[in-house]
Amino acid sequence: MSKHVLGQNQYGKAENRIVVVTRKGSDGSWAEIRDLNVSVALRGEFRDVHLTGDNANCLPTDTTKNTVYAFGKEHGVASPEAFGIHLAKHFVSSQQPIREAQIRIEEFAWERIPVPTRKEQHSFVRKGQEVRTTQVTYSETTGLQVISGLKDLTVMNSTNSEFHGYIKDKYTTLQEAYDRILATKVTARWAHSALAADDADFDWDGSYKKVRKHMLEAFAETYSYSLQQTLNQMAERVLDNCPKVNEVRLNLPNKHHFLVDLEPFGLKNDNEVYFAADRPYGLIEGTIHRDGVQPVIATSDWIVA
């Protein structure tokens, strides 16, 4: 008898790139694009697949890939969340051994290149601001969970930021700052309530735009004494204005900007010339959730990023 125990396991097909073009108008001259990177992971009754090589309960990863592409045609992509919900529910409901499915999606945004002299509007330029993310988990026991997000959204305040009054010991060399640049590259994730996840008519695109708007407004409007304070204000602004969001987790690396010493050149640097440091960097992370709501984001990452 084996002394070893098969623990947590899952499998699937990662990073399926799919671009869906929706053509509109009587002649199809107007196009909309959804450009996704879709990862699928499945959990269930896969013990024999691992221990004996019996594949009777194994849905091939190639099949999960094909399902992603087929659903692009059959269901379209109204939003990354809606597409992920279709996929997750399909895998659990269509295959008895599969008990839980998680779909993780990145969306790469494009914006239209307007051509006033041409009726057809089908030219696009890749947006470089951020990548939209979605994670949908559907389980027979716990139901549906939707976590939306974004990454690589770089923001900066050129003033209205200070950092002082911190602990100092014999290793501290950092000078207190009373007027500094505050910059970060935002990675954000937010968990939706069950009311939103189960609502077939929920406006996922509208919700994404609203959350993004409130995070950016909070970043811009907060007079910051620390990046931690700014993180809290960004998350609280979302929770105050988006009632179907229960939890916000933010990952904010401090994109340090240090004043350059210009005195050797006989010049005064009046908060005008900075050195933008690449690394190392401070990394500020935190989760803000509604009182009485159990946070889920930190425990939901069972797909390896």
Give kind and range of the element (H or E) at residue 213.
helix 204-221
For the question of residue 256 being annotated catalytic, the response is: yes
Q: Is 62 annotated as a binding residue?
A: yes
Q: Is 254 annotated as a binding residue?
A: yes
Q: Which of 86, 192, 214, 256 is catalytic?
A: 256
* DSSP assignments along 148-172, one per residue: EEEEEEEEEESSSB-B-S----TT-
Cα separation, 135 vs 180, whole angstroms: 36
Q: Which of 61, 75, 122, 151 is catalytic?
A: 61
For the question of residue 13 being annotated catalytic, the response is: yes
Cα separation, 131 vs 219, whole angstroms: 19
Give kind and range of the element (H or E) at residue 137.
strand 131-139
Judge contact between 45 and 99, C-beta under 8 A.
Answer: yes
Q: Is 180 annotated as a binding residue?
A: yes
Cα separation, 232 vs 285, whole angstroms: 10
Q: What length is written for the chain? A: 305
Q: Which of 13, 86, 214, 289 is catalytic?
A: 13
**Virtual torsion, Cα 67, 68, 70, 71, nearest 10 deg:** 110
Annotated binding site for O2: 61, 254
Annotated binding-site ranges: 61-62, 163, 180, 228, 254
| Binding positions for 5-hydroxyisourate | 61-62, 163, 180, 254
Would you name the residues annotated as active-site residues?
13, 61, 256
- Which positions make up the binding site for urate? 61-62, 163, 180, 228, 254
